[in-house]
């Protein structure tokens, strides 16, 4: 039971709530850094444990049970944390709510279907959905890091100097442009991908429900 793929899955499962704990006990941007590292590391193990299990023929019932739980826990907890960090911004909250609703709905459907659920194959679109939301969440965790260092660089700096550096390309010894551009790039790309993931989430959820209908009829 204690194969490397299963150990990686369990580590990912433990890392899920730790993303939230980081923001309770660490000051920012250390919490943002820790959450980003934890989330990216967990996302990488999601691919690695499945690859190793297939390559080493170590697929197990424990791994098959824990893997989807770890994935959903990681995504749902990260979305809750992000919604809190961004002050319940509608651009984050609405797609996050759609994603969480779909995960709860499909999980309940799979539990009801029991053994039949295993016959409903995961589609390529579902895999793209998972990848898209993982990248989106990682980018949104990076926003706070860029924002912190941007604010730190402008402490006690005259606002006009800040505007000159950002608009006219004046001397930039504190890398204001880098942090400014990084903050907006991660924000807009993260939000765009999160909405795309929400759209894919709805489509794959409807597809899964449609495929399960024959098994729900009396």
Superfamily of domain 1-85: CDP-alcohol phosphotransferase transmembrane (TM) domain (1.20.120.1760)
| Residues near 51 by beta carbon (within 8 Å), at least 6 away in sequence | none
Question: What's the pLDDT tens digit per position in 13-69?
Answer: 898 899 999 999 998 889 999 999 999 998 888 788 777 777 777 777 777 778 888
User: Helix axis angle, 61-85 relative to 90-113, nearest 10°?
Assistant: 160
Q: Residues 111-155: pLDDT tens digits?
A: 888 777 666 777 788 889 988 999 999 999 999 999 988 887 776
pTM to 2 decimal places: 0.86
Please tell me the distance from the alpha carbon of residue 142 to that of residue 108, in angstroms, as a whole number: 32
Burial 4-14 (b: 16+ CB within 10 A, else e): ebbebbbebbe
Q: Where are the domains of the chain?
A: 1-85, 87-218
Find the farthest-apart pair of alpha carbons in the chain and give their distance in angstroms, rounded.
Answer: 73
């Amino acid at each position: 039971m204690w194969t490397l793929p299963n150990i990686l899955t369990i580590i990912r499962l433990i890392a899920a709530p730790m993303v939230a704990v980081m923001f309770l006990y660490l000051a920012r941007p250390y919490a943002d850094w820790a959450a980003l590292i934890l989330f990216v590391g967990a996302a990488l193990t999601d691919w690695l444990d499945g690859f190793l299990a297939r390559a080493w023929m170590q697929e197990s019932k424990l791994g098959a049970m824990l893997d989807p739980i770890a994935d959903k826990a990681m995504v749902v907890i990260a979305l809750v944390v992000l919604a809190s960090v961004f002050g319940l911004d509608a651009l984050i909250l609405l797609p996050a709510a759609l994603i969480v609703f779909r995960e709860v709905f499909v999980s309940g459907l799979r539990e009801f279907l029991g053994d039949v659920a295993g016959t409903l194959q995961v589609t390529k679109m579902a895999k793209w959905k998972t990848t898209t939301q993982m990248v989106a969440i990682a980018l949104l965790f990076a926003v706070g890091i860029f924002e912190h260092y941007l604010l730190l660089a402008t402490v006690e700096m005259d606002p006009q100097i800040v505007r000159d550096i950002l608009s006219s390309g004046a001397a930039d010894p504190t890398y204001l442009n880098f942090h400014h551009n990084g903050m907006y790039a991660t924000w807009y790309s993260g939000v765009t991908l999160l909405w795309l993931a929400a759209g894919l989430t709805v489509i794959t959820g409807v597809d899964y429900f449609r495929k399960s209908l024959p098994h729900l009829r009396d």
